[in-house]
Every structure is written in C-alpha cells, then in structure tokens.
Structure 1
Amino acid sequence: MAVATTQALPVAIIGAGVAGLALAVMLRRQGVGVSLFEARPREALNEGAFLTLAPNGVNALRALGLAGRISALGIRTLGFEIMNAAGRRLVQLDERQSMQEAGAESVTLKRSDLLGALLDEALALGADIRFGHALAGIQDRPDSVHLAFANGSTADAAWLAGCDGVWSRVRRLCFPASPDPVYTGLTGVGGVVDLPFVEPTDGLMHMVFGDQAFFGYIKSDDGPVFWFDSFPLDEAAAMAKPDPAQLAATVRRLHAGDPPAVRRIVETFTHIPRGYPVFDMRHLPQWHSGRVVLLGDAAHAVSPHAGQGASMAIEDAVVLAACLDATPLPAQAFAAFQTLRQDRVEHIVKVSRRIGSQKQTKGRVALFLRDLILPFFIRLGSRTTRAVTRYRADLAPLEKPSI
C-alpha cells in the first residue's frame, strides 16, 4: 500500500466559527485541500445573537469574495450615541467620514447569518466539513499531524489550524503551559426581536450606562431591534446555566430605573435563552508549534466591548493564507503570521478590556467623574480606533500594521 505524502494530505481545521470557516474559504481559493472538524452539530451555528463587523473586518471579507454579500445581510452601523442613566447624552460620534476613508462601512448582523454565508461558500468551494467531531488527541509528527476524535474516527493532515475558540481544545493539548482565559467580571446577553414601537436609530448604535447594567440597541427603518446588555456578575453565577425566564426578569430589574427607551424594550422580554460570560486572553507567547497554529479566539480572545472579535478572526484567516502562499513551509509561515498579527490583536485586547472596565464603575462620585471625562476619552480614543479600522488585510496582508 502506498504511503500518502504530506503534499497529498489536506489541511485540518478545528472549529466552525468565524476564524475556521474564513480560513477554509481562503485555503480553498488557493487550491489547498481542507478538512474542517466541528465538535457540535451543524444546528449549533444558529446559536448566538449578533455581532458588528468594523470596516477592517468588512474589507478583510473582500479577500474571501464575500464583502458585498455579507454586508447586505445586516444593518449599516455608522456611529454611536452614549447616554447615562438619567438619559443625558454623554457623547455622539458619527463615523461616516472615517468609514469612507477606510473604504467600508461597519455592519451589524446576526452571527448565524455570518456563519451561514461562510459555511455556504466553504462548501461551494469543496471544503470537507464534518460536524459532531470533538477533538480527543493530537500527534504532531515530523511530516504530518494525526488527529483522533471522541466518536472514534481519525484523520491525518499536512498541518493543523486550531480555530476552536477561547476554550480551545487544540491550545490545551498542544500548549499545556498556556494561560487560561480570564473572566472579565461581565456577562452579556442579547438578541434580535421585532418591536415596531421602537424608533429607528438612523444607523447609530444607541448605548446607555444604566444604573446597574450597560444596554445597547440599533434598529433600521423597518427591521428588528438588535439589542445587547452587559452587567457585572460573579464567575460562579456567570458559568451556571440560567433559567431563561429568570434571566429575563433579571434584565428587567437591572434597567427598572433607566431611561424610558431602554425600559420599553426590556419590559418585552419574557425569556432570554442564555448568558455569555465575557472572557479574554492574556499574552500567549507562542501561537504555533511544529505543524500546529492557533487563530482567532484560540490565540487572542477579544472581549466584545471593542466590537473587533469577528473582524480580527477574519483578518487572521486572510493573513495566515497569505503567509502560506508566500512561504509554503508551515513552520516559517506560522512564525511570520504571529509576527504580523500579535502586536495588533494584543493592543485591541487591551483596549477592549479598558472599555469593559468602564461598565463596572460604581459609586456616586465615580459615576460623576466617568460622565465628566468619558466624552473626552472617547473622542481621543476614536483616533486610535480609526487607525485600527483603516487596516486593509485584503490589500496588504504581508505588511505589518502600525496598530
């Protein structure tokens, strides 16, 4: 029996999230064989609420040929407005000029719509995608990677990409000394709901620093309300499976004293299926070892406060594919990939962590100072945000971004 050479083996991807599916599309466009393994059933891709793709994320989708198709699935998100619990506007930023300079507009869309579009494209390009395959073991060999799954099946691959999220099984197996994800102290909930009585927000994400929680929503002219809520919760309670009716009651209670627009929305909630404890990753010194590399949240979990998690995952896929195209030896390509990406993503992790800390401010004096200085810091920080969102992974993936 002939022994298969490394060149004849496909690339293995673990995880059918944003990073994994985007990488599958990029590699198939380069003619590389791809086998993607996801532990959950296919229906799990319908889970989750929504996300916002920043201009850099939309531009990265251009490399996948999907920017227009995916942008059409969501709501143009052109800026934001922040109010305090008394209903006083603290700051409003219109980002249209910055987005025009970046060459793309932000878009808010259902997570399931993004994953569905990526999955459809990967399948159309011939990727082999298998659900119900929970990774059990990895053998990193000199010329291949051998994978074992909990269902008893095995597979061999030329190399392996761990795209399996913040609790990455690949990271725990191949990088046992790596730090664990860190709970930020905040838990999020969110959803998409038809509420005709809510006025359109004209492309602005409306956000409110409530007395006890941070609420945000956006609505197009005749579309549903995309809403999210973020509130402090101890880790044990955050990790426990909540009762949907009780979770909805908690959200209503947290916002009972907040502005009328928020109360009218949350008072419609009778069941919230689940909460999402917010974790991020401290510095991970090494993203690759032998024929294994980490992407997306597996390498650098970004909490949602900066709105960059999905965009960073798509950028990762574009940049790694470019590195492999330029340097076909996996170890060299992986090293180049980490060099190009690490400073940028770790900067965004820190920014997101800082934003999240503002949502946990308590005490009358602290709240007064926050409301006083927040507009200044947001406008100052918008300069950094513009530098982040102007990066074009689709045009210059092998150039190291300044941020």
Structure 2
Amino acid sequence: MPKQNSIAITGAGIAGLSLAIRLRQTGHSVQIFEARPREASGEGAFLTLAPNGINALRALGLAERVSSLGIPTTGIEILNAAGRRLALLDEREAQRQAGAASITLRRADLLEALRQTASAQGVDIRYDHALIDIERKADGVTLRFGNGESAHAHWLAGCDGVWSRTRRLALPASPEPLYTGLTGTGGFLDCPHVPSSGGVLRLMFGESAFFGYIKAQEGPVFWFDSFTLDEETAIGRPDPAALAARTRAQHAGDAAPVRDIAAAVTSVPRAYPVFDMGHLPRWFDDRVVLLGDAAHAVSPHAGQGASMAIEDAVVLAACLTAYGAPSRAFRAYETLRRDRVEHIVRISRRRGAKKQAKGPVALFLRDLLLPLLLPFDAKTTQAVQRYRADLDPLVLPAA
C-alpha cells in the first residue's frame, strides 16, 4: 500500500526535478522515473531563465547557485540580415523591478544543479524506465515500465515533455502537439575573434533563417538557429554534418559576426523541431497531474519554457500544502496556471510567425513595423516576468 505522501514523477527534466525538490522540502517521499538513459537525459544546448524563473528557483533555494552558472543577460538586440539594428531593449531596470536578472546558461548545467540538489535531498531517480501503463487503484497508482519493473505511489506527476506518455495514458482524449513549422539547432563555439556581446542577446532575422547568439568576455559563443523545415525531415533526425552545412549556407550572406559564427559550425548533434500544444481541456484526473511541456508546451520564441516549468512545480507544491487532497490541489493548480501559460503560448506563436516572414514586401513591413511594435511587446514580456512564484504562489498572477 503506497503511503499517503508517496509521489511518483515521470521525467527527470526541469519540471520533474524542480517538483521533486520542492516536494521533498515539504515532507513528501518522491521517486522520479526517466525513460532515457542517464547520459542522454541532459540533451539540449542552452536556455535563458527569465526573472520569474530565477525567482521561482528561490523557493527551491537555488536562485544564486544557478545564476552563477550562466551569463547575466541584460538586454536584447534585434537586427536584420544586413546588420541594421531594428531594436535594442535594455532590460536592466525591468529586471531590477522584477527582483532578478535573466541568466543564459547551458541546459546541462541547470539540470545538473537540479539533479544534485534532488539527490542530496533523498530523491530516488531511476533512468531507463519508460512508462507503458498506469493502473489506478483505490489507494493510488501502479506504474509499469518497459524494462519489466513496476512502482506504486499515492499519485503521479507527468513531467515527461511535449510527447508525454503520461498524458496519453491518463488523458487519452488530449490533443496531440502541433508542429510550428520551425526547427532549431544550436551549440557552443570557441570564436576568439568574436567580441563579447556585453550581456546582450543578439538576434538576427537572416536572409534564410533566424540566428541568435550571446558571448561573455572570455567564454564561448552560445548560438542558436531557427529555420523552416518540413515536419517529416525535422523529426527524422537529420545528419549532423548536413545540419552544420545547412547552418553555414543559410547565413553565408548575413552580416558579420553572424556569418562568421555560422561559418565555424562543423557539426550539429541534432535538430529540435518546435512543437507546442493546443488547448488541453484538462491537466489532471483523480490520481495524475501534468506539469511543464506535458501540460502546455511553449515554443522557445518567448524564452519562457524552463521558467514556466519551475513555476508549475512551485505552485503545485503550494497547492498540495494548502489543500491536502490531491484532487483539490490539482484543480487549484490548474486554475492558477492555465490562463498564464496559455497567454505565453500565444505570445510565443506570434513571435515564431515573425521568423517565417518571406518575400520582399513581408520583410520590408517587418523591418518597418517591428521597431514600432516592440515596445508594446516588451511591456507584455515585463508583466510576465514580474510574477513571483516564490512569494505567494497561490495568488493569481496578473499575466
């Protein structure tokens, strides 16, 4: 018979590890089951944690540690393919008002900090455990895995990403993820000739693709690329050398230093097709609740995916403390989170659409209108970033 406070989590990513840490801090027994092997669970290049994400980490006791691992990101510069500045957003004052700086860091470094903390708190993390079935019982749930093992818990948190097996088993009527038409690549390059970006994330609407980079004074270039690609090719794991060649070719005509950074790319381990979720009617049933991309996959164009996952964890843990019974806590959690994350999904879709503009007229209008519209977009972003999950997660955020 599972204990009343025993919780199983599927997925050892940002959402799952954050939830495990917070639940251990509030007295729960937690096991995490990850489908992938340990060495594959840290895939991904880098991400930016916005002030709301850093503040959510305060509830886990990790804000300062994680902030020390990355590059303080104080602004965003947007350029066209010729290198002409379309906009420069200095975010330092907005970050001061939000109570935290944005940090750009390797995804693997964030995951390792979360893993180390979870393990130190006694969280049992098991890899190579692909979920194949959920059996509900009067006293909890039984999970069955592809390796023949099983586990029992009072309830289950599905934190297993956009292609969540937990969601498909627990809520089979849920919609499938939608391919946005864009695929991303990225990585790290030693480019001593490229100057520091001074804490600014530089984004270029290139001739054929969207490119972004940030570089600290002595560190490598953190770069990413976003381009249109048909879904079949995108999900087919393109060849690393072919991906690198594509990156070099599609930025060869762009202004320096983007073309120079792209020219130095010799291998890209994998591509990341960008999916998001349509409206999910429910995020929970009596024994299962979804968090992070499993509930509300956010495409990366708003820079909020990781921050939303950490917020989810903090808010759900607070709801469990406040309401006790899982079903009541799950309902309160969904009420508190749904409008906010769906708002951010919409923002991200709009930004992604701008990256797909083609033809001289569309490009002319984008370059003309973007500087006029960006201040309004920035205010929306700043409102999102001001939310403090660490202070009172049971209060509905303004955005």
For the criterion TM > 0.5, the same-fold answer is yes
Report the alpha carbon displacement of residue 5 of structure 1 after superposing the two structures with TM: 5.2
Structure 2 residue 148 is matched with structure 1 residue 152: yes
Task: Rate the CA distance shift 1:274–1:223 in 2: closer, same or farther, 3 A.
Answer: same
Cα distance in 1 for residues equivalent to 2:334 and 2:139: 21
Alignment match, 1:375 = 371
Q: 2:81 aligns with which of 73, 81, 85?
A: 85
Q: Does 1:230 align with 2:226?
A: yes
Structure 1 counterpart of 2:292, one-letter code: G
Of 39, 42, 47, the residue aligned with 1:46 is 42
Alignment of 1:20-35 (within 5 A): 20-35=16-31
Structure 1 residue 402: deviation in Å? 1.4
2:295 partner amino acid: A
Per-residue deviation, residues 208-265 of structure 1 (Å, max 9, x unmatched): 0001100000011111111000001111111112111111001111111100211110
Alignment of 1:122-271 (within 5 A): 122-271=118-267
Q: What is the TM-score normalised by the length of structure 1?
A: 0.98
Q: Is the 8 A contact 1:140 1:290 kept in 2?
A: no
Q: What is the CA deviation profile of residues 89-109 of structure 1, one whole-angstrom value per residue up to 9, with x for unaligned ones?
A: 000010000000000000000
| Structure 2 partner of 1:282 | 278
Partners of 1:104 and 1:140 in 2: CA distance: 42
Q: Distance in 2 between matches of 1:215 and 1:77?
A: 17
Match of 1:60 in 2: 56
Secondary structure of the residue aligned to 1:11 is strand
Does the Cα contact within 8 Å between 2:276 and 2:299 map onto a contact in 1? yes
CA–CA separation in structure 1 for the residues paired with 2:61 and 2:136: 33
From 304, 315, 318, give the equivalent of 2:314.
318
Cα pair 2:291 2:309 within 8 Å, conserved: yes
1-side partners of 2:138 and 2:380: how far apart?
43
Following superposition, the deviation at residue 140 of structure 1 comes to: 1.9
Query: Which ranges in structure 2 are unaligned for 5 or more consecutive residues?
Result: none
The CA RMSD over aligned residues, in Å, is: 0.8
**Structure 1: tracts of 5 or more residues without a match:** none
Per the TM alignment, residue 45 of structure 1 is displaced from its structure 2 partner at its CA by 2.8
User: 1:270 and 1:225 mapped to 2: Cα distance?
Assistant: 14
% of aligned pairs identical?
64
Q: Which 4+ stretches in 1 moved above 3 angstroms? A: none
Q: Answer whether contact 1:206 1:218 (CA < 8 A) is retained.
A: yes
1:310, 1:91 → 2: CA distance? 25
Structure 1 position 303 matched with structure 2 position 311: no
Match of 1:294 in 2: 290
**Normalising by structure 2, what TM-score?**
0.99
Q: Compute the displacement of 1:142 (Å).
A: 2.8
